[in-house]
Amino acid sequence: MYAEKLENAKGFDEIFALIKSIVAKRYGLHRAGLGLVLADLPPSVLGLHEMGSNSIVMNRKMLEAIALEASNNIDKNAYIFVVLLHEYLHSFGFYDERRVREMVLDIVEFAFGKEHPAYRAAVNPLSIIGKKNIVLEGLNSIEPPTIIKDFDRESMPFIG
């Protein structure tokens, strides 16, 4: 069920809704009101969540490289799933990286099993592209961050 939803997800919003559903079922945790920003970050930073903020930031250059190199939609979505899941867990106040990585592995195994590409991505997010080299062209060119609209559909906009 979860694997099919992940494979057929068409955007960040669908992947994030799946993450929230699985985390709620596995750990009883739920949070609404997060935004997603794509920004040019160093290659070693796949994503981040600044504690106390309402935003998840994903590395745009790595996402573009994964989109080019991934052999299919499930691999690309597995990468996005794992990075968003990791940062979503940070948004609950889990600071310890090792603990968050363990939680990611637990959630991915619970939802998809160890044979799914998401499990490989949870162990090593860049492993989903196999032995290919990721080419990060234009790393020196920095574009303004992009805010993804309708990322968390549970969010209620302020009425002003």
Per-residue pLDDT of the chain (160 residues; tens, 9 = 90+): 999 999 999 999 999 999 999 999 999 999 989 999 999 988 889 999 998 899 999 999 889 888 888 878 999 999 999 999 999 999 999 999 999 999 999 999 999 999 999 999 999 987 766 555 555 555 556 788 888 888 887 655 554 4
Place of tokens 């968050």: 100
Strand 146-148 and strand 47-48: the pairing is: unpaired
Place of tokens 């009883």: 28
Q: What single DSSP character describes residue 100? A: H
pLDDT of residue 27: 97
Beta strands in 10-137 (DSSP E): 35-39, 47-48, 55-59
C-alpha 95 chain-centroid distance: 17
Signed CA dihedral, 90, 93, 96, 98: sign only: negative
CA–CA distances in Å: residue 4 to residues 131, 149, 159: 26, 24, 36
Cα torsion through 69, 72, 73, 76, rounded to 10: -30
Query: Which phi and psi (to 5°) does residue 55 adopt?
Result: -130, 145
pLDDT of residue 8: 96
pLDDT of residue 160: 43
pLDDT of residue 77: 96
**Taking each helix axis from N to C terminus, what angle separates 12-27 and 73-90, rounded to the nearest 10 degrees?**
50
Please state which CATH number belongs to domain 2-148: 3.30.2010.10
C-alpha 87 chain-centroid distance: 7
Residue pair 33/142 in contact by the 8 Å Cβ criterion: no
pLDDT of residue 134: 57
